[in-house]
Structure 1
Amino acid sequence: MTNMLSLLVDIKDKYCVVVGGGKIAYRKVRMLLAEGASVTVISPEVCSEIEELSKNGEIKLVRRKGMEEDFAEAFLTVAATNDSQENRRISQQLKSISLVNDASSYEEGNCQLPASFKKGRLHLTVSTNGASPKLAKKIKEEWQHTYDDNYIAYIDFLFEVRTLIKKKSLSPEVSDAILGEILDDAYKESATLRHIYYEKLLNL
């Protein structure tokens, strides 16, 4: 099995290339746009959804097959054509010099775009290492029910408390005790309890 290190990467304003114009390519494009990437799609033909993104100015669209110079400046390239051999060619060309995701083969690229779920500061990703994308999607959907909107304010509270105790230069033992205490579900469920606790910390 290929060794992979899980890593969250900031791609805001990064130049990303998606080769391919079908539904899979579209899903990859939407994922990249959601994170603020600058996306160019390269494909002789594209689905209506990609066409619409181009008309709206959300992406740059190049209507031809991918060429070597298209990837020279790319932070990330996604090979998502309907031709697995073409995807493999692109991946083999790039994997030793830059980030490349092969949408048709887990083994060919050097990075993955796993199923992802966000709720405020909470960011969860899941991958089955190519075994079952459907299972990864199912797990993501389960998370959507498990982690409701309460987690948005709660995790902001955790962040604010952690920031505050750093500023106060508390001992490691005291800091650890505080960070452990606020993991109690009571703080997740009650905004009032969070407020009272934070005010108490301000007076330490």
Structure 2
Amino acid sequence: MNMISLLVELKDRHCVVVGGGKIAYRKVMMLLEEEAKVTVISPKACSEIEELSKGEKIKLIQRKAVEEDFSHAFLTIAATNEVEENRRITQRLKSISLVNDASAYEEGNCQIPASFKKGRLHLSVSTNGASPKLAKRMKEVWQEKYDDNYIAYIDFLYEVRNLLKQKSLPPEVSHAILEEILDNAYKDSGELRHIYYEKLLNL
């Protein structure tokens, strides 16, 4: 399957999760972390999903999904415990909107990879269905490697890049600066970052 990796903003987007079990719950939590507006459709729902509904974190519709449920969905995740039902939903929607089949990655037109965030840093990995366990393991490696220090460091990279956009420096000078600040010394020292940024302000 040929796919391109994209980051998609889901804040305030209408997302539908079909299914009420533990897998559906994990998908719901992922969407809520991105501040999406989530509707869950399932005749039965696990206690965690019911609690989210009672707390008005999501909208829960306790019945089988019908075509009208997807008319305004930006993203639909088919996560029932019935493979054929997931496939039916996916085949219906894949030509008109974003749809993910939680039971068969190749059925939908988008995947939800294992991902890791640390401030502005966002890493994701997919094995195209070959081994979700490997993708999870790689995510765990990232979690150990990229600690909280990266939050301030990447903010520094962002601020320097924005500052250079405001200055009329020769391209080769800007390029050299952006290369220099990739040195680990800037990652490891907040004081060095501050001194360097102040120097750039006076260029």
Q: Distance in 1 between matches of 2:50 and 2:113?
A: 25
Q: Counterpart of 1:105?
A: 104
Deviation digits for residues 149-194 of structure 1 (CA, Å, limit 9, x no counterpart): 0100000000000000110021110110000000000000000000
1:65-80 matches, cutoff 5 A: 65-80=64-79
More displaced 10-residue stretch of structure 1: 100-109 or 168-177: 168-177
Displacement of 1:34: 0.3
Map 1:120-139 to 2 at 5 A: 120-139=119-138
1:33 partner amino acid: L
Counterpart for residue 185 of structure 1: 184
Following TM superposition, by how much is the alpha carbon of 1:108 offset from its aligned partner in structure 2, in angstroms? 0.4
Q: What is the Cα deviation at residue 25 of structure 1?
A: 0.4
Q: Equivalent residue of 2:199, what SS? A: helix
Distance in structure 1 (CA, Å) of the matches to 2:146 and 2:200: 27
Look up the SS of the partner of 2:127 in the other structure. coil
Which whole-Å CA distance do the structure 2 matches of 1:119 and 1:107 have between them?
A: 29
Shift of 1:126: 0.7
Cross-structure match for 1:166: 165
Q: What is the 5 A alignment of 1:191-202?
A: 191-202=190-201
Q: Matched residues, percent identical? A: 77
Cα distance in 2 between the residues matched to 1:81 and 1:139: 27
Does 1:92 find its partner at 2:91?
yes
Secondary structure of 1:134's aligned partner = helix
Structure 1's unaligned 5+ residue stretches are: none
Report the equivalent of 2:142.
143
> Does 1:45 pair with 2:82?
no
Could you list the runs of 4 or more consecutive aligned residues of structure 1 that deviate by over 3 angstroms after TM superposition?
Answer: none
TM-score by length of 1: 0.99
AA matched with 2:108 = G
1:11 counterpart = 2:48: no
Secondary structure in structure 2 of the residue aligned to 1:66: coil
What is the distance in 1 between the residues matched to 2:153 and 2:29?
Answer: 28
**1:77 counterpart letter in structure 2:** T
| Secondary structure at 2:40 match in 1 | strand
2:19 aligned residue: 20
SS at match of 2:4: coil
Which has the higher mean CA deviation after the structures are superposed, 130-139 or 13-22? 130-139
Counterpart of 1:194, as a letter, is R
1:118 aligns with 2:117: yes
Partner SS, residue 125 of structure 1: strand
**Corresponding position of 1:34:** 33
